[in-house]
């Protein structure tokens, strides 16, 4: 495998994948848990597009792209995670403890809770180029499960809209619908 790795990215729609090697003879791209190959379209610019026409839980997974020149396969691209929101899951609730208004340097906890027994929850900040925060859930006295995302110290970067999702660790790319957005005010 002495050939450079291609790039793999999501285009305008999350249901389309692309692979950009220098000279494509054959491209393969599939989630790690599926045997079927998606439909492949070649373009004059040596890009292969992989279309997923019906996005369902089965398409969730980790995708990598590679290509073949003569008899040499490229190195795999960096992984691209495709997360699918499941309509069969209930959306969690999100609240700020003690309050969604906090001063810089203070401490707050974002509580994501659900009656569905998710074992993991993820917190996202809208509009920010940050990785989601993920925690294991813990039981709540009400019978729900919760994840407590502690923010300490709070900075002006924490100002904005947050949402959370729940998921099961054996299906980490299938998330619940998002909670209602919660606006944090840092003043």
Predicted confidence (pLDDT) per residue in 153-180, tens digit: 999 989 999 999 999 999 999 999 999 9
116-120 average pLDDT score: 97
Q: What is the pLDDT of residue 1?
A: 47
Which among 125, 146, 122 is positioned nearest to 133, based on CA atoms?
A: 122
Residues 68 and 123: their CA atoms lie apart, in Å, by 39
Q: What is the pLDDT of residue 61?
A: 84
CATH superfamily to which 8-82 belongs: Immunoglobulins (2.60.40.10)
pTM: 0.73
44 pLDDT tier (thresholds 50, 70, 90): low
Lowest mean pLDDT among 27-41, 63-77, 95-109: 27-41
CA atoms within 13 A on the CB side of 5: 10
Indicate where the chain has its CATH 2.60.40.10 domain(s): 8-82, 93-186
**CATH number of the 93-186 domain:** 2.60.40.10
Which among 83, 80, 57, 68 is positioned nearest to 28, based on CA atoms?
A: 68
Distance of CA 163 to the CA centre of its chain: 13
Find residue 42's DSSP bridge partners. 48
Residue 81, pLDDT > 60, answer yes
104-132 average pLDDT score: 93
Residues 68 and 185: their CA atoms lie apart, in Å, by 52
Lowest mean pLDDT among 71-80, 134-143, 150-159: 71-80
């Amino acid at each position: 495998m002495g050939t450079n790795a291609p790039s793999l990215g999501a285009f305008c729609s999350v249901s389309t994948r692309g692979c950009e090697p220098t000279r494509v003879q054959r491209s393969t791209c599939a989630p790690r848990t599926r045997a079927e190959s998606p439909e492949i379209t070649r373009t004059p610019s040596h890009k292969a597009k992989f279309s997923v026409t019906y996005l369902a839980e089965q398409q969730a997974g980790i995708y990598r792209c590679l290509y073949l020149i003569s008899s040499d396969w490229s190195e795999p691209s960096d992984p691209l995670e495709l997360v699918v929101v499941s309509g069969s899951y209930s959306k969690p609730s999100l609240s700020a403890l003690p309050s969604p208004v906090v001063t810089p340097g203070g401490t707050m906890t974002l509580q994501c809770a659900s009656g569905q027994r998710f074992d993991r929850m993820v917190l996202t900040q809208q509009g920010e180029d940050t990785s989601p925060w993920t925690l294991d859930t813990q039981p709540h006295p009400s019978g729900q499960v919760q994840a407590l995302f502690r923010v300490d110290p709070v900075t002006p970067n924490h100002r904005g809209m947050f949402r959370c999702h729940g998921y099961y660790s054996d299906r980490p790319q299938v998330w619940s619908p998002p909670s209602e957005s919660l606006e944090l005010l840092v003043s």
